[in-house]
Amino acid sequence: MNRKLGFYVLMAVLVAGLFLTASCAKKTVVSDATTIEDQAKTAADAAAEAEAARKAEQERIRQQELQEEAARKEGTVQARTRFLNQHIHFEFDSAQLTDTARALLREKADWLKANSGTGIVIEGHCDERGTTEYNLALGERRAAAAKQYLQDLGIGAYRMTTVSYGEERPLDPGQNEAAYSKNRRAQFVLK
């Protein structure tokens, strides 16, 4: 048993040694071959290589442009999504634009200027407190306030119409202030 193990160890050492020797020898050969090839390089080869590099660079630029285009497209989609999903919010029983509302409307005006072919509907909404009929009127005033501010920022009135939904179309059916404040809004829809 012990003798057999000793044999295996010996064989292993020998095989390992053989491999090491062989790789050393081969390395030398490869190194020689490279040298020979380098020496064989011509001016024409150099020109071809420069052409390849130029192509690679072109390809890199094209890829970068594609990426930028995709990012731009995504940005456009994001801007559009933001335009449609960021609502203008109001205080209870008020159609006054808050500072936050004005900032958001300036952003929307920029979007409308960048998308000059787009017409929009501004919807005015209320929370469920208060009464149906009064809220119809209040919702209209909220939509009208948003429209007037956009008009003051240079957006043509002909591109915008308003409609009030009063308390008929809440975003959040909850009966708490968090829901109510979400529901008191002016919302933007593309025509």
Partner 1 sequence: MTKRCVLSVMIVFLICSFPVPVRVFAAAYDTIQVSNPFLNKTPVALPAFKALTGRPAETDLGANAHQILENGLAFTGYLKQINPNAFLADPAQTGIRMSDIDFKDWTGIGAELLITGGVEEKDGQVKLELRLFDTFNTQLLKGKVYTGEPSQIRRMIHLFCAEVSHALTGKWGVFASKLAFVSTVDGNKEIFVSDFDGHNPTRITRDNSIALSPAWSSDGRSLAYVSYAGGKPDIYIRHLARDRVTVIDRDGMNITPAWMPGKDTLAAALSFSGNQEIYLLTRQGEMIKKVTSSWGINVSPQFSPDGGKLAFVSNRSGSPQVYIKDLGTGDVNRVTFQGSYNTSPAWSPDGKKLAYVGIEKNRIDIYLIQLDRGPGMPVQLTRGQGDNEDPSWSPDGNLIVFTSTREGQGPALFMMTAAGTDQRRLMKMPGRQTQPRWSGPVTNAE
**Which residues lie near partner 1 (CB under 8 A)?**
93, 129-134, 136-138, 140-141, 144, 163-165, 168
- Closest Cα partner for 146 from 92, 91, 187? 187
Torsion over CA: 156, 160, 166, 169 (sign): negative
Nearer residue to partner 1 within complex by CB, 79 or 144: 144
Q: How far is the CB of 55 from partner 1 (least distance, A)?
A: 58
Rounded CA gap, 68 and 92, in Å?
44
In angstroms, the Cα distances linking 108 to 23, 37, 97, 98, 122 are 70, 65, 14, 15, 12
Tokens 């200027």 -> residue: 113
Beta carbon of residue 101, minimum distance to partner 1 (angstroms, whole number):
19
CB of 160 to partner 1, least distance (A): 13
- Cα separation, 20 vs 28, in Å, equals 13
Q: How far is the CB of 157 from partner 1 (least distance, A)?
A: 11
Q: How far is the CB of 94 from partner 1 (least distance, A)?
A: 10
Query: How far are the Cα atoms of 5, 34, 35, 177 from residue 49, in angstroms, in the given order?
Result: 57, 18, 19, 70
Minimum CB separation of residue 140 from partner 1 in Å reads 5
Whose tokens are 């940005």? That residue is 75
The CA distances from residue 165 to 102, 115, 177, in Å, are 22, 26, 19
